Structure 1
Amino acid sequence: MPSAHPSIGFQAVILCGPGTGLYPFTGAEDLPKALLPIANKPMLHYPLEWCEKAGFDSILVLTLKEHHAAIQSYIRSHRTFKAQGLYIQAEEASSINDNLGTADVLRIAFQKGWLNSDFAVIPCDLVTNLEGHRLAELWMVLQAGFDADLGRRSRKHRTAGDGEDGRRGGLVVCYDTMGEGAVKGQETDLIAVAPVTKPMMCSSLPEGDVGVLLTRSSTQALKGVSEIPIRHSMLRKHPNMKLYSTFRDAGICFLPHWVLKFIERNPSMTSLREDVLPWLAKSRWQNRRLAEKLGLMGILTGSETSATGDNDSQAAGEEYDVGSMSTMRLRRADDAPAEIPPMLAYLPNAPSMFMRRVDTTHLYLYTSLYLAKSDPSQPSTQIKIDPGSTIGEKAVVTGADCLIADKVTVGAKAIVKKSVLGYGVTIGRGARLMGCVLMDGATVEENAKLEGCTVGRKAIIGAKSVLKDCEIAENYYVEKETEAKGERFVDFAGLEAASDEDEVTDENSDDGVAVESDDDEEDDE
């Protein structure tokens, strides 16, 4: 879908990880995490559409080597970027066995020349109705991002954007995990910010707080701690700071080009979320020696040469379009010390705003069902029940809260409510489904009852089975008349191969299968 807004002039980077938190539905080379269907659309569809609507004219999709072919095929076969003037490239930055973090992947992209301007990082598992161009607007206004020439005027030196003119900071987005759709045990962050006033010209953004990020850490690391440790130096400089413990990092980061140099300068930093952003935030309120130790002052003043070959001592007559590389410039006097740019945090909390990281099986189920719902009072182009599906005599399918794909067959007297059925799903006579997601080719035999279940591709649920809150892996066959609650059905071979397997609660060595308890999954980037 073409953007209705002008190009915002920098790159979008979509990170596609392995998806260990979505086991047992990820792992196959032809179905990586980024292509796992959410409400009958590949997961990657949502961040790509978000970037298109935001006005990005260049998108870099960073994948694992094992998943590159499948993702590249999807991009070429299902999306029409050239007709929209949108450039997109998919590159393999690492492999599964490399076990690299988000900062590692960005470092590789920078060194290979794939990233050459200010950029926005978006995870492939992001689903949100928050408009991207509004976030870009907030970033530019708060950071005073544009000069009168809109950042396009040619500069004589590479250092013009980084040192002589000063640099601007970034913007991260976090969302509230409480309220509707809250998942027990969901990962959250402890976030400290110094409040700032949201500009009037950004009033179209959903209600929420804006502040300078001071520090963030996972609340998991604070389990069992009776008191939250606060640094005196941070409290002295920001006595009015606010703490948030129910918000989670959305993975959306708007960052200037110099941050790539900072990442390259500090190879021990592996994670954007756990290392890079917290250290940049701390550098503003801790002793200036910290910034010098991290090489930040040299980067901000343009006195450090990048390992990618940037040379700040180019001849004065040689011109570089630094404006096209970075729109974030702050004028300062030549004798003024370099100011460390702020990392801003936007924490929306409006009820109308939906945002989720779909990186666990619980969030996968919830988000799929949320997207299947429709408001009868609002116009929509969404096809709820595909014309190519077959609905049997006296069968009941509630169109307002279901999504039924092509070639689906619903048998006579079956009842399907609040569910998503993928391509070629078969529902037997008299079967009942409530709040379930069935992926392509799955089968539910006659008179089976499923509630709150996620069923993988081509899995079969035997006749008269009664399952509640269960997960059934791809190609698995659940014996008829099986009764289970909160269990996971996977092939034993797949269980051994998984790196994030949970404790096995029941094994059957005769048929080579295992049943797991449905514990909370660990998050992955």
Structure 2
Amino acid sequence: MFSLDQTTSAKPQVVLEFQAIILAGNQGNIYPLAADDNLPKALLPIANRPMIAYPLQWLEATGIQNIIVAICSSSEAKLTHYLRNVYEGSAHIDIVTVDEHFSTAEVLRYLAPRIFQDFIVLPCDAVANPQTAYPQRFLDSYRSANPALTALFYEPPKSEGGGGSTKDSEWPLYVGLDATQQRLLYMRPGDRVKEALNLRMPLLRKFTRLNLVTHLQDAHIYVCKKWILDLVVQKKELTSFQKDVLPLLVRAQCRPSLLETEGISAIMDAARQRHKYNQSVHEWSTTVADDPMEPELRVNLYIASSGFMGRADSVPHYCDLNKHASRLFPDDRVAKSAEINSRSQIGADSMVGNLTKVDERTSVKKSVIGAHCVIGKNVKIVNSVLMDYITVEDGAKLDGCVICNNAKIQAKAQLKDCEVGASLVVDPETQAKNERIVSSFIPSGEEGMQVNFG
């Protein structure tokens, strides 16, 4: 994905060689945005489009039509409605409900009976320009090198601030690569590095052009040989694809003993035998290469070196992606059905959704406002994301905030770097900074009314 240096209007050919799996079950570290009383993570708006629309459109841009979307029971009704009745793509989407506590490898293990060929795994929160992020080069790099796996990496966009009360501790990811061969040779999260990195001599002897970088992030998008799924099925101790399966394969490239002790060689040999048998039975094959894999285990990477890409895997990243993605749709910045008072100011870096009303002397900068919102007079909104059906009364100020569906910000409230949960009411003249307002309980008594936020 996301060689964003190419634009095409041509309809892609249907690709039969891959199945795709979008992981949309786990809500991740994005509370209170993804919550039962608001929206599933996969439906959170990015530039007023559901998050999952981006990976779906990315896959369809490659011609991939066979897509499995793994969801959990708590989001089943809302996601199924969107995928069946709202999403306008042409792909065949198979919706499968999985245990909400399943990790990525466990989801693949559960889906194994439905996967019959090489496959692509991607998260629902991968966001790029659906109009110009034509991902053929990513898949072509896999086709031409024919590795066991190709992982997509990208350079994260620069944060512009804001993003609610949660501030990420951004640990670097140490990535060792051989750019001449597109090989992924080493991965180590920064939070696991104590004093120094340990690089084994066999690795350094075999790959003399190894470069160690910290500016890249793993997109969690992988195109894989079918036999990798066999490995996941057999080795039940592998729970996370990114933390367990991928590092194991990367290490095994330079450690022949791992190939044997972990059973990788046997699984690869069995895959070769199946391929030879299939070729003897059929005159044609849907695989690109004559052999399903090279004799040597290879793990490759593809770097999205230009354009826009990111993951909405935290509240700050979600806010940043809204601002970046809003610039991808210059013709849709202010919906035609929105009512904008002539004495208000909507910045060229902002979006306003359908049927939203903005009253006079209101200023909106670097923000995304959803549909059916009512914004009063003398309101200032900066660096914020407002979802749908939100009311902001006169004189309120929002700076660096995320406001969930159906919330109400009453007159002259001032919030900075706050998250307001769905259907919450923020009292008039409230002043809050770095607060997560996620629920309210309002008992009434003889001495008046008390509001507790928890």
Task: Tell me the TM-score range normalised by the shorter chain.
Answer: 0.7 to 0.9
Contact map agreement 2:153 2:217 (CA 8 A) in 1 = yes
**Correspondence for 2:296 among 340, 343, 350:** 340
Contact map agreement 1:443 1:460 (CA 8 A) in 2 = yes
Does the alignment pair 1:463 with 2:411? yes
Aligned length: 431
Structure 2 equivalent of residue 386 of structure 1: 335
Structure 1 equivalent of residue 138 of structure 2: 135
* Aligned equivalents of 2:233, 2:25: Cα separation in 1: 21
Contact map agreement 2:24 2:70 (CA 8 A) in 1 = yes
Change (3 A) 1:341 1:397: same
Alpha-carbon distance, 1:177 to partner: 3.0
Contact map agreement 2:156 2:309 (CA 8 A) in 1 = no
Structure 2 equivalent of residue 53 of structure 1: 61
Contact map agreement 2:253 2:299 (CA 8 A) in 1 = no
Instruction: Output aligned runs, 1:478-517, within 5 Å.
Output: 478-491=426-439, 510-514=450-454
What SS does the aligned partner of 1:302 have?
helix
Does the alignment pair 1:421 with 2:369? yes
Structure 1 equivalent of residue 291 of structure 2: 330
* Aligned equivalents of 2:197, 2:356: Cα separation in 1: 53
Does the alignment pair 1:360 with 2:319? no
Alpha-carbon distance, 1:239 to partner: 2.7
Instruction: Output aligned runs, 1:253-272, within 5 Å.
Output: 253-272=222-241
* Aligned equivalents of 1:54, 1:281: Cα separation in 2: 27
Structure 2 equivalent of residue 189 of structure 1: 173
**Correspondence for 1:402 among 343, 350, 375:** 350
Contact map agreement 2:323 2:368 (CA 8 A) in 1 = yes
What SS does the aligned partner of 2:332 have?
coil
Instruction: Output aligned runs, 1:246-285, within 5 Å.
Output: 246-285=215-254
What SS does the aligned partner of 1:227 have?
coil
Alpha-carbon distance, 1:303 to partner: 7.9
Alpha-carbon distance, 1:360 to partner: 0.7
Does the alignment pair 1:95 with 2:89? no
**Correspondence for 1:241 among 210, 226, 246:** 210
Instruction: Output aligned runs, 1:142-221, within 5 Å.
Output: 142-143=145-146, 168-177=147-156, 179=158, 185-196=169-180, 211-221=182-192
Alpha-carbon distance, 1:314 to partner: 11
Task: Give 1:291's aligned amino acid.
Answer: L
* Aligned equivalents of 2:344, 2:246: Cα separation in 1: 53
Task: Give 2:190's aligned amino acid.
Answer: T
Change (3 A) 1:16 1:313: closer
* Aligned equivalents of 1:20, 1:277: Cα separation in 2: 20
What do the CA deviations read for 1:373-423 (whole angstroms, capped 9, x no partner)?
36xxxxx6742211221122512222x222111121111221222221111
Change (3 A) 1:315 1:213: closer
Task: Give 1:136's aligned amino acid.
Answer: L
Alpha-carbon distance, 1:475 to partner: 1.2
Structure 1 equivalent of residue 114 of structure 2: 114
Change (3 A) 1:466 1:239: same
Change (3 A) 1:316 1:117: closer
* Aligned equivalents of 1:510, 1:123: Cα separation in 2: 42
Change (3 A) 1:30 1:442: closer
* Aligned equivalents of 1:268, 1:105: Cα separation in 2: 13
Task: Give 1:486's aligned amino acid.
Answer: N
Change (3 A) 1:175 1:25: same
Structure 1 equivalent of residue 327 of structure 2: 373
Structure 1 equivalent of residue 12 of structure 2: 5
Contact map agreement 2:271 2:292 (CA 8 A) in 1 = no
Structure 2 equivalent of residue 349 of structure 1: 305
Give the CA RMSD over aligned residues: 2.8
* Aligned equivalents of 2:176, 2:66: Cα separation in 1: 33
Does the alignment pair 1:26 with 2:34? yes
* Aligned equivalents of 1:122, 1:192: Cα separation in 2: 22
Alpha-carbon distance, 1:41 to partner: 0.9
* Aligned equivalents of 1:432, 1:315: Cα separation in 2: 67
Structure 2 equivalent of residue 289 of structure 1: 257
Alpha-carbon distance, 1:276 to partner: 0.9
* Aligned equivalents of 1:177, 1:303: Cα separation in 2: 36
Change (3 A) 1:192 1:5: same
Structure 2 equivalent of residue 157 of structure 1: none
Does the alignment pair 1:36 with 2:44? yes
* Aligned equivalents of 1:318, 1:139: Cα separation in 2: 25
Task: Give 1:297's aligned amino acid.
Answer: S
Change (3 A) 1:195 1:14: same
Change (3 A) 1:185 1:329: farther
Contact map agreement 2:38 2:422 (CA 8 A) in 1 = no
What do the CA deviations read for 1:35-85 (whole angstroms, capped 9, x no partner)?
11111111111111111112112111111122222211101111244xx4x
Task: Give 2:402's aligned amino acid.
Answer: T
| Structure 1 segments unaligned to the other structure (5+ residues) | 144-167, 198-210, 305-310, 333-337, 375-379, 494-508, 515-525
Change (3 A) 1:321 1:217: farther
| Structure 2 segments unaligned to the other structure (5+ residues) | 1-7, 162-166, 442-448
* Aligned equivalents of 2:429, 2:122: Cα separation in 1: 44
Contact map agreement 2:157 2:309 (CA 8 A) in 1 = no
* Aligned equivalents of 2:199, 2:314: Cα separation in 1: 31
TM-score where L is the length of structure 2: 0.87
Change (3 A) 1:238 1:406: same
Structure 2 equivalent of residue 319 of structure 1: 281
Change (3 A) 1:299 1:412: same
